Amino acid sequence: MLREKLEALLPASLGTMAQLAGGFRTRVKQQLSSIGARRRFWEKSLNGRFATLAANEQPQQAQQQLEQDLPRLRR
């Protein structure tokens, strides 16, 4: 019963987002040395266009969005 409640609360795209983010994690860590910068990157990504694209089942576009967002944050 608890599992069903949790699954109902979580977005269906969470698995896609987690998989894409997991594959990008090392790259983010290499390019953003501070924990604060990495946190800002992930907060922006998980609340922005990347999340929208993943939710709309567009994993390739979501991956491209992560790739575009990373250099922008480094500036």
What is the CA 5 to chain-centroid distance, rounded? 23
Q: Which pLDDT score is estimated for 51?
A: 93
Q: Residue-wise pLDDT tens for the chain (75 aa)?
A: 888 887 787 777 788 889 999 999 999 999 998 999 999 999 999 999 999 999 999 999 999 999 999 887 665
Sequential DSSP letters for 12-23: TTHHHHHHHHHH
User: What pTM did the predictor assign?
Assistant: 0.77
Domain ranges of the chain: 2-74
Tokens of 27: 């790259």
* Fold annotation for 2-74: Helicase, Ruva Protein; domain 3 (1.10.8)
